[in-house]
Amino acid sequence: MSISAPPCDHAASTGPVVLRALRHGESTSNVAWAESLAGGTATVPSDDMEISLTDLGRRQAAAVGRWLSALDQPPDMVWCSPYLRAEQTWSLARRELVAAGREAPCERVDARLRDRHRGLLHHLPPAVVEERFPGEAAREGREGMLGYRPPDGESFMDVAARLRSAWQDIRGDAAHQRVLIVAHDAVVLLLRQILEGLSDDEILAITAAGLAGNGSVTTWERQEKRFRLASYDFRGHLRL
């Protein structure tokens, strides 16, 4: 599945003044992970890019679209992760937006917005990791949650590095003022660190309190030269 991006005819302006980050709707891997932690045996596709939405996830995505269509000024630019669950989320949201008579925004799929790659530990619950890769839990404890890089995978710091590159392009786009990023919980978390200048300890505290939920929206607004958090993990539109 791919997003078709029509030519952009927006004139240069002030650049982004509102940034929203949408976590994709519930996916089959989200359900399988919850089941595995509860002792189940659910499996997910080995290719993380091909994990799709559940029926609930599709309803969440449509609810996001209806919420966006009710805004006085919906997004005029969307940056989307290349993962199927993110592209499906935006496609369903966009359908609702257009059905409400609102103009479809410009779109771009960007690989830098992909989810964190956990390498050989891909979608393995803690008990299985301990069995197949003894010592990795201890190594994560030594290196810390943010710095730990699984075998053949990425650390959260690696994700932050590619997000900083993407953010420079997003912020430098003078033609669009209301930007929506459709991606993953790790992306939302680390965007908070990048935009708000949060310390590692502050990021760990946010993680401990709970990451952004499926279909939730986090919003930042530009004030002078900085973007300040307006709302985190907003789910008011998800009354399904």
Q: Distances in Å between the alpha carbon of 78 and those of 19, 192, 214? A: 10, 18, 18
Q: Is 83 within 8 Å of 134 (Cβ atoms)? A: no
- For residues 54-63, b (16+ Cβ closer than 10 Å) or e, as one string? bebbbbbbbb
At residue 126 the predicted structure's pLDDT band, cuts being 50, 70 and 90, is confident
Q: Is 84 within 8 Å of 52 (Cβ atoms)? A: yes
pLDDT recorded at residue 91: 98
Q: Is the pLDDT of residue 122 over 80?
A: yes
Q: Which of 98-107, 116-125, 220-229 has the lowest mean pLDDT?
A: 116-125
In whole angstroms, give the CA distance from residue 77 to residue 87.
14
At residue 240 the predicted structure's pLDDT band, cuts being 50, 70 and 90, is low
In whole angstroms, give the CA distance from residue 181 to residue 83.
13
pLDDT recorded at residue 130: 86
Average pLDDT over residues 158-169: 98
pLDDT recorded at residue 33: 73
pLDDT 10s digits, 28-42: 989 877 777 666 555
At residue 7 the predicted structure's pLDDT band, cuts being 50, 70 and 90, is low
Map tokens 């000024």 to a residue. Answer: 73
pLDDT 10s digits, 203-217: 999 999 999 999 999
Q: Is the pLDDT of residue 3 over 60?
A: no
- For residues 222-238, b (16+ Cβ closer than 10 Å) or e, as one string? beeeebeeeebbbeebb
In whole angstroms, give the CA distance from residue 224 to residue 240.
37
At residue 26 the predicted structure's pLDDT band, cuts being 50, 70 and 90, is very high
pLDDT recorded at residue 2: 43
The pTM of this model reads 0.92
Q: Which two tokens stand for residue 86?
A: 């993110």
